[in-house]
Structure 1
Amino acid sequence: MGYRVAVVGATGAVGREMMKTLAEREFPIDDMAALASERSVGSKVSFGEDEDIKVQNLAAFDFKGTDLVFSSPGAKVSAEFSPQAAKKGAVVIDNTSHFRMDPDVPLVVPEVNAEALAGYAKRNIVANPNCSTIQMVVALKPLHELARIKRVVVATYQSTSGSGKDAMDELFTQTRGIYVNEPVRPEQFTKQIAFNVIPHIDSFMDDGFTKEEWKMMVETKKILDPAIKLTATCVRVPVFIGHAEAINIEFENPISPEEAREALSAQEGITVIDHRASEGYVTPAECAGEDPVYVSRIRSDPTVDNGLSIWVVSDNLRKGAALNAVQIGETLARDYL
């Protein structure tokens, strides 16, 4: 049995990755609709190796009869069209921030809290978490089960693709321009991104944190455990694809690096590469196009009782967006639809 599927935001970086992932994982599809804004109508997007699909106008599309919608058009657009699709009977897997903290909308990472999908029918919407949250909670899950996490301090190193294609283009243009002595003109970012790092992702809030940092705090509580205390510093780095995170964890109970390594290695979706030698760890350049969350640099923190530090890397377009959404769709198809 196949499903009628629509991808909203099909011409964007995440939308294209969703269509690629659906094809690669052979999701059972009888009919595929690629939807975007009116300016993209008539263009084509790839679905698998041998098929191109014409883009249709999202504003004119009738969702009646559609089973699943994978949505990544931006929060404002999703706020309007995801409920419309849900009212027509489709189950919407929404990749934007708009619905994540809605108490009636499950916020799901299948390896971590697939059981939350049982509540999908309240709104017919399931939220895909923030990309930096996804890879972190996949790594935290087995450690939390082993020794109970009290507090997390995380610093992120987030690639430009997290801000979309125009942001990636700006990194490329600035890098090339610096070599030929052209002036740097930031447009997508607040400061120069080439050969620089920017400790500012999303808007600032009244307490001094950015909204990206706030997302990591509140989403972790909703997905994993409301008792976990978490503080984040989110940084944009001059990398095209792949987010990295330096995570320091304080536990309620003792945990050794060896126990942590064993628990992480047994967790679905994680690949541990942790050799205390040159090249014995994973960097963003090596994770691009890959499905797993990679964990390296597992070591004790001697400055606190029951402390541990780890390095976590993942493709933010893949596991941080498209793959996680498709895995949600696969779980819904297997257990609920």
Structure 2
Amino acid sequence: MSMTSFLHPARRRGVLGSAVAAALVLTGCGAEVERDAGAGRVTVDRCGEPVRYTLPKRTVAYEGGSADKLFVLGLTDHVHGYVMPPANPPVTESPWASEYAKVKMLSDDLLNKEIVVAAKADLVVAGWNSGFSDQRGITPQILDKLGIQSFMHTESCFNYPGHPERVTPFEALYTDLERLGKIFRVEPKAAGVVDGLKKRVQAVRAGAPKGRPVPVFLYDSGTDQPFTAGRQVPPNDIIATAGGRNIFDGLDKRWAQVTWEAVAKAGPEVIIILDYGDRPADKKIGFLKSSPHTRELPAVKRNNFFVLDYNEGISGPRTIDGLEKFSRYLRSLER
């Protein structure tokens, strides 16, 4: 995850509808969802906080994970546009490239309040510290005051102050799809998508190599000190489900800076390279092969490198594509 991405809806608005309005209470993903027929709103949890949503028609998505979640649910007509920082891979490489082409590219900068106000957005989908940011002045609370709804990725709620929500990264993906399905009133579609993803995950788990999990290091960036994945982000679930062990799964964090000494001590036999930005994967591999900190690592000596696309490493449906690819790679290795 880039440092940019690491840094990478409306709170209850209006009043309740008529007292005679019928309310249907549904449960799913551990969240209570209330339909208020009179007001045309649904109540869905946002990082542990119940929030009432009207049906969005001009959604702004930040980064590929947000847009992909909307597109996989068939919600292109509800998306006004997207914000995609230049470090992200081109949208033309996405399985939903044709859907990206139907909506507006609003900016290649970081998400900010001015962009979403100018777009007349009625919903912003992003992660906490990845899109939403106190430092940049765009938070759910700020948008609430502007009458703009917001949806935060459940995986990022781990860092969100005040209303923390904590589930494993894959469960967070399923949760987001189900919650978005409720917000956009496409629950059957969301249920089908989630069921399909779960079946793919289960197939990988069933076919994972038996025996000792291979130790795996994810290399995001950094030369003086490496930036890597803790246990609260999708690569940790990718590695574990495929039959490996993230050497930093003991870090109760999302993305974190560690030391080369800690990497060397763990002796990774496989290195995942997170591919994004202006430093291609082959440059990162070249650094690891030449650095005195890493050139003697088992993974480096055996040339055991796996390249994970940025959008397969952040919360979104492409995470499961990355899981399947990494699973095939692990099974191909001579153990």
Q: Judge same fold: TM > 0.5, yes or no.
A: no
TM value normalised by structure 1? 0.33
TM-score, L = length of structure 2: 0.34
